[in-house]
């Protein structure tokens, strides 16, 4: 696997490999990162607010998604990531909660969270 230096402003597709590299080969974290990456407006929201961080060393560029901090932001500031015009943001917040649970960064029950997912997000 070759390391191409990336910037957070790079095309979305160019960020996938360093994102998966940052998941540290833990299956649940990989699934969480892949989930937020697949919901493009949520990914953009995380990126714009600094919840995706780039770390570089001599060998690799990696991305880390600060899921716990993003979820705390949503809960404290009541600023839900909005997916599209007119959306309440409930589905995006639910995706974020599911991802944080997958990665072990949140321990709230998902029972009520799943009801907030849109059909497309439930499939993911």
**Tens digit of pLDDT for each residue in 41-63?**
899 999 999 999 988 777 788 88
Is 5 a domain residue? no
Is 103 a domain residue? yes
Task: Quote the pLDDT of residue 55.
Answer: 84
Is 55 a domain residue? yes
Task: Quote the pLDDT of residue 12.
Answer: 80
Distance CA 29, CA 104 (A): 8
Distance CA 37, CA 34 (A): 5
Task: Quote the pLDDT of residue 67.
Answer: 94
Q: What domain count does the chain have?
A: 1
- Range in 14-18, 23-27, 56-60, 96-100 with the lowest mean pLDDT: 56-60
Maximum pairwise Cα distance, the chain: 45
Task: Quote the pLDDT of residue 101.
Answer: 92
Distance CA 12, CA 69 (A): 22
Is 28 a domain residue? yes
99, 32 contact by CB (below 8 A):
yes
Q: What is the pTM of this model?
A: 0.82
Is 59 a domain residue? yes
Provide the 3-class DSSP secondary structure of residue 56.
strand
Distance CA 74, CA 26 (A): 25
Is 46 a domain residue? yes
Is 38 a domain residue? yes
């Amino acid at each position: 696997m070759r390391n191409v230096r990336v910037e957070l402003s790079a095309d979305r597709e160019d960020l996938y490999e360093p994102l998966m590299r940052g998941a540290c080969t833990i299956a649940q974290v990989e699934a969480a990162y892949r989930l937020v990456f697949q919901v493009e407006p949520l990914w953009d929201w995380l990126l714009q607010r600094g919840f995706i961080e780039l770390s570089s060393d001599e060998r690799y560029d990696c991305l880390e998604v600060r899921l716990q901090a993003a979820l705390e932001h949503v809960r404290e500031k009541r600023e839900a990531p909005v997916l599209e015009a007119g959306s309440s943001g409930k589905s995006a917040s639910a995706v974020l909660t599911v991802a944080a649970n997958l990665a072990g960064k949140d321990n709230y029950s998902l029972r009520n969270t799943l009801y907030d997912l849109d059909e497309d997000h439930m499939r993911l």
